[in-house]
Structure 1
């Protein structure tokens, strides 16, 4: 007698980088009706997505949903993913990775800004009275996928068959299978101070050449580059990647320039190790020098369950 498993369909965490994105973080109002409304909305998200995406099938629309630690039990009633917990503040000698609240993350992506806008409008209409917006950040693609510091962003992302192994939980946590951990941080840049550096100084901090994105060796002083500090190996020497879908945001008129960091990972400890190395330093005291010009305003952790799980919530 053969047994069959319910198919697990991951969310589109590996959707391609688009020209526009909205990062929407919400707090769920703690009432039974609010939780019920949120649960119903998440269960019906595919229908809402189709309603908007049909307007332009070439827009490459995608929406990924992440659920925070504080709301997981009340919202899902399901076993907790093994590593799910609130973002832990990391305090270095000079810089701090702050921890900020958030129950639900919607990572909304499309080649068209109006498609993102319309999906968010209809989504918040459904959630009216049940949630409060904590943060809404609109990102855009900047030339050849560069950040506002002028460097190509996301070069170290896994590609092809390496993506699922880096991003999607498998047999190590059967209750969370097909899901992914998400960490978001909203950074603002002191752009004038950054531009006062020479190109060579900027390249040493990043660990790559600015024009053609070639890797550079670290300085002999022991100060590691941003690239090196974000390269994580386990005790067996195996390197672990994450999938970044970072986007610039800002307004020259208001003097705001920033990068919205969003990392998807199969292993939450990998991103946490990256942040420890950046903010505390490796060795301690030699922090990532990019932090002298980039300040995190937020820090929140979520879990993106499989789309199969989301659809079963109601």
Structure 2
């Protein structure tokens, strides 16, 4: 039975850290070995620091997948959608790897990142090191609860993990879209609560949706759910980030369906219905975006053992 990376469906933490890396030329064989060791490292340190709720993931970008794992490609794995919209633009990234570490202890994250860094630095260039934190009772810096419509309980696994019936080889894996959303907090805070709730589509205090007959079709809530067929088919792990000059959210969307994010994203950009787009985007910009695949532990370990290579030369690709 396939074993998923435990960070996919883990509950929220107090702190998060993210390494965005580009692989150095010709390092694929060595990286296959080292990436398989990172989940083992996380498991070992999670047991050592049992109260820290340590978890994490290793993800491979859509464009680097065929270099690292040339034998099989997940169905529908594509780059972050480069949809053009008159309302919004996205700056895309071409990073090869994403390593996420989350914990309730910041010192534990530091220990883990140091070990990961020492392991992989001969083989990669670290492009970005990002950090995030839990804000109040799970809110974004808009002041609103983050994704109150996120799947809960067993539904999280159903939404995020590829089922064996869909793909035996990639069971327990997940499609991941990552982006950094920068909030125009100055202009957002000039709105009163009623105006903010109209944009979000749900109440600021408790996250409950505004009554259906008054909710705006261009609200964040309506646009996120418009393509979901009644049940939200993304599992989001969003956490705020902030410096003195810039603040916003690091957003990770996991799904068992390769097209779920793209369909939602196109609707949010106003590409599916004229003049209807996510009005929250009027107060945001995205300066970093990439699509990844989070392979199961079973797949990572099998690839590291060379089980998929038909010849010795395959391993050196």
TM-score (norm 1): 0.90
**Partners of 1:53 and 1:238 in 2: how far apart?**
36
Query: Residue 73 of structure 1: which of 66, 78, 87 is its match?
Result: 66
1:29 pairs with 2:24: yes
**Partners of 2:241 and 2:107 in 1: how far apart?**
16
Q: What is the SS of the residue equivalent to 1:125?
A: helix
1:202 pairs with 2:196: yes
Between stretches 184-193 and 238-247, larger displacement belongs to 238-247
Count of residue pairs brought into register by the alignment: 302
1:131 pairs with 2:121: no
Residue 265 (structure 1) aligns with: 255
Trace 1:35-46 onto structure 2 (pairs within 5 A).
Answer: 35-46=28-39
1:52 pairs with 2:42: no
Residue 80 (structure 2) aligns with: 87
**Partners of 2:110 and 2:213 in 1: how far apart?**
45
CA deviations 1:258-314 (Å, max 9, x no partner) are: 101101101121111111111125523332111111111111111111111112222
Cα RMSD of the aligned pairs, angstroms, is: 1.9
Query: Residue 298 of structure 1: which of 257, 271, 288 is its match?
Result: 288
Trace 1:1-314 onto structure 2 (pairs within 5 A).
Answer: 7-12=1-6, 13-31=8-26, 34-170=27-163, 171-217=165-211, 223-233=217-227, 237=229, 239-251=231-243, 254-280=244-270, 283-314=273-304
**Partners of 2:146 and 2:175 in 1: how far apart?**
20
CA deviations 1:111-132 (Å, max 9, x no partner) are: 0111112211111111113111
8 Å contact kept, 1:27–1:131: yes
8 Å contact kept, 1:232–1:270: no
Q: What is the SS of the residue equivalent to 1:224?
A: coil
TM-score (norm 2): 0.90
Q: What is the SS of the residue equivalent to 1:44?
A: helix
CA separation of 1:95/1:195 partners in 2, compared to 1, >3 Å: closer, same or farther?
A: same
**Partners of 2:190 and 2:232 in 1: how far apart?**
34
Runs (5+) with no aligned partner, structure 1 = 1-6
Runs (5+) with no aligned partner, structure 2 = 305-317
